[in-house]
């Protein structure tokens, strides 16, 4: 049965107050699907169904739910219920929820938690949003290097129920400095009497908690890691980032880049908000800023056209090709910017590579311009004769080259000033290329057709 059909059936059962049927439907589903179904209900109905799930399942299902739904449901829970949920949630997920609660709600649940759990939540919740610390978990297994393999396996059995992953074990000293790592597979194959310091890997990939979260995602993807240990400024291990959290970060970063490339604001919009569920006010705020800015940017295109009014009046055929030419420059620039933003984001290209990439981009743009000029010159000859054909063909070549160079260079420029290269959005590139394209077109026409400007 498709998920949409299941959602509709659950909604119908809830509308009839048939909680037994609704509960039977959702309890037969995998955890992520249960969360998805509950997300299509009101917070009150979702909480009613969550309570009808097995107790050991509730925290897992809750963790899959969207942040907005989590916050709404948390406000409806009793103090004891919310406290019990916090105790069972994954460490990083409950820290995220803690940050979304009001101060009053935070103070109501903390006394019900054990001291170690309170400190763990406060520590994880203290890291700035967007840093590695804000996505890491403290549920990992760490051992001292003087243990034998047999002792280590016994300790792992005791700690495994509370750990998010046990496939990689982190070796620390008494001050919790990260000294090495060993995999569970290596422990199972090792001599039971071997000491951990003799079999551990000492060259450990790691990241700092105050670094950007994309750094952890990049390392995990690059080296195919199940988890990445995170240390503080004194090289003490404070948590790990698992591969599933890294995937979430990559997805979030990709979404943010796509929004910026489309000149859609991400500030205050909430990247996890469903487009279908987003309010009109949120959608308006996401789009209005750049559109208003670009309105004023397009004034330069109008000023360029106004400057060549007499040229246009005496050769009306030029107007026919204006949208075609300036749009081609914007399209070429947007393509170039998209490729370069992606290359910079993945580390394939660095800021220092601009000069070497410039020559390659000009060559490609020249070939593209020649191909497009061949096509447009035929139309130019038909509409205005050989003179117009020459003007539009030459303009097409120059505009495509200039647009491509602008599109390629702007992400590099933003990177140079420590800004997100994805801010070189397609609408921004198009607006710049439109203004520049107008000036190129009419100046070339003015020179070749030997008509004086005003």
CATH number, domain at 349? Answer: 1.10.357.20
Could you tell me if 102 and 162 lie in one domain? no
Could you tell me if 311 and 427 lie in one domain? yes
Say how far apart CA 215 and CA 83 lie, in whole Å: 33
Could you tell me if 190 and 316 lie in one domain? no
Of 242, 261, 289, the residue at which a domain comes to its end is 242
Region class of 347: left (phi > 0), else alpha (psi between -120 and 50), else beta: left
Could you tell me if 117 and 147 lie in one domain? no
> How do beta strands 237-242 and 168-172 pair?
unpaired
Measured N-to-C along each axis, helices 31-39 and 3-15 cross at an angle, to the nearest 10 degrees, of 50
Residue written as tokens 């107050």?
A: 17
**Secondary structure class of 33 (helix, strand, coil):** helix
Which residue, among 348, 346, 339, 360, has the nearest Cα to 424 in the 3D structure? 339
- 266 lies in a domain? no
CA angle, 289 then 290 then 294, to 5°:
125
Point out the residues of the chain with pLDDT beneath 50. Answer: 269, 451-454
- 205 Cβ contact list (under 8 Å, min separation 6): 219, 223, 225, 228, 229
Range of the domain at 30: 3-127
> Which H or E run contains 189?
helix 184-189
Could you tell me if 166 and 36 lie in one domain? no
Could you tell me if 304 and 438 lie in one domain? yes
Could you tell me if 119 and 23 lie in one domain? yes
**Residue 443, token pair as written in the block:** 């100046």
pLDDT at 453 (0 to 100): 43
- 358 Cβ contact list (under 8 Å, min separation 6): 405, 408, 409
Could you tell me if 122 and 155 lie in one domain? no
Rg from Cα positions in the chain: 30
Could you tell me if 122 and 168 lie in one domain? no
pLDDT at 295 (0 to 100): 74
> Which H or E run contains 239?
strand 237-242
- 188 lies in a domain? yes
- 26 lies in a domain? yes
Could you tell me if 117 and 162 lie in one domain? no
pLDDT at 267 (0 to 100): 53
pLDDT at 69 (0 to 100): 87
Say how far apart CA 198 and CA 200 lie, in whole Å: 6
pLDDT at 384 (0 to 100): 78
Q: Are 341 and 414 in contact (CB under 8 A)?
A: no
Strands across the sheet containing 227-231:
207-208, 227-231, 237-242
Could you tell me if 308 and 388 lie in one domain? yes
CA angle, 139 then 145 then 146, to 5°:
130
Q: Are 86 and 74 in contact (CB under 8 A)?
A: no
pLDDT at 82 (0 to 100): 86
- 267 lies in a domain? no
Q: How many domains does the chain have?
A: 3
pLDDT at 44 (0 to 100): 93
**Residue 211, token pair as written in the block:** 């670094």
Indicate the DSSP class of residue 126: T
End-to-end Cα spacing for the chain = 71
């Amino acid at each position: 049965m498709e998920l949409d059909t299941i959602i509709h059936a659950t909604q119908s059962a809830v509308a009839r107050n048939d909680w037994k049927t609704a509960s039977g439907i959702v309890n037969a589903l995998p955890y992520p699907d249960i969360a998805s179904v509950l997300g299509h209900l009101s917070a009150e109905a979702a909480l009613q169904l969550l309570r009808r799930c097995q107790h050991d399942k509730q925290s897992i299902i809750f963790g899959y739910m969207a942040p907005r739904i989590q916050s709404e449901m948390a406000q409806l829970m009793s103090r004891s219920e919310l406290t019990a949920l916090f105790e069972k949630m994954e460490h990083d997920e409950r820290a995220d929820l803690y940050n979304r609660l009001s101060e009053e709600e935070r103070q109501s649940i903390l006394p019900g938690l054990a001291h170690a759990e309170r400190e763990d939540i406060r520590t994880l919740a203290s890291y700035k949003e967007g840093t590695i610390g804000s996505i890491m978990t403290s549920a990992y297994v760490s051992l001292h290097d003087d243990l034998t393999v047999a002792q280590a396996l016994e300790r792992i059995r005791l700690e495994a129920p509370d750990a998010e992953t046990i496939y990689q074990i982190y070796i620390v000293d008494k001050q919790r400095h990260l000294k090495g790592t060993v995999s569970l597979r290596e422990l199972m194959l090792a001599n039971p009497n071997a000491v951990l310091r003799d079999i551990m890997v000492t060259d450990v990939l790691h990241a700092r908690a105050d670094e950007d979260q994309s750094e952890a995602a990049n390392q995990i993807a690059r080296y195919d890691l199940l988890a990445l240990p995170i240390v503080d400024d004194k090289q003490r291990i404070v948590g790990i980032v698992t591969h599933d959290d890294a995937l979430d970060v990559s997805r979030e970063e990709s979404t943010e880049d796509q929004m910026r490339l489309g000149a859609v604001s991400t500030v205050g919009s909430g990247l996890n908000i469903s487009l279908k569920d987003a309010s009109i006010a949120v959608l308006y705020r996401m789009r209005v800023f750049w559109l208003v800015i670009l309105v004023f940017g397009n004034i330069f295109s109008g000023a360029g056209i106004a400057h060549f009014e007499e040229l246009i009046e005496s050769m009306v055929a030029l107007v026919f090709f204006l949208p075609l030419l300036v749009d081609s420059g914007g399209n070429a620039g947007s393509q170039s910017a998209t490729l370069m933003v992606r290359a910079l984001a993945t580390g394939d290209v660095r800021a220092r590579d601009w000069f070497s990439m410039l020559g390659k981009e000009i060559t490609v743009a020249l070939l593209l311009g020649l191909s497009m000029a061949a096509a447009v010159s035929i139309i130019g000859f038909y509409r205005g004769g050989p003179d117009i054909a020459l003007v539009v063909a030459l303009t097409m070549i120059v505009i495509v080259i200039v647009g491509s160079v602008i599109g390629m260079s702007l992400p590099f420029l933003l990177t140079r000033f420590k800004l997100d290269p994805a801010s070189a959005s397609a609408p921004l590139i198009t607006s710049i290329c439109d203004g520049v394209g107008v000036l190129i077109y009419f100046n070339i026409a003015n020179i070749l057709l030997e008509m004086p400007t005003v």
